[in-house]
Amino acid sequence: MMSLSTGFVFPAWYTPAKVQKNFGAKPGDVLILTKQIGTGIINTAAKVSLADERAIAEATTVMASLNRKPKEVMDHFTVHACTDITGFGLLGHSLEMAEASKVSFSSAQERHSLYQGE
């Protein structure tokens, strides 16, 4: 049985002025998701043999992909707030960011990128 896991890497150097925080969102900001959502659900389902192979393969590919390109694109824009969507999922991290920023978020579900597995 295949087992999926998540790992984190932190670089040994950084520029303090470029550190992105998960607060500071402003009215009118746009939330951009750089990867599909649902990795946690697929990972959990795979552990109990409930995820289909196509979903597992896609989630594995997405988890193995680097965040280099999204970071390079982000460098060309003014970013008020930034977060990952792991552990607490889209709703949990959105709530955390919105409350810390004293704003509210709205979302168009049909525009979210989802996995294609069943």
pLDDT in tens, 16-75: 877 888 999 999 998 888 888 888 889 899 999 999 999 999 999 988 888 888 888 888
Residue 11 has pLDDT above 60, yes or no: no
Dihedral sign, CA of 103, 33, 18, 79?
negative
pLDDT at 115 over 90: no
pLDDT at residue number 30 = 87
Instruction: Write down the H helix ranges in 2-106.
Output: 39-47, 53-64, 68-74, 89-101
Local confidence band at 3 (pLDDT 50, 70, 90 cut-offs): low
Which residue is listed with tokens 């049909």? 110
Contact 81, 20 (CB under 8 A): yes
Q: What is the pTM of this model?
A: 0.69
Summarize pLDDT for 64-100 with one digit per residue, the tens: 888 888 888 888 888 999 888 877 788 888 999 999 9
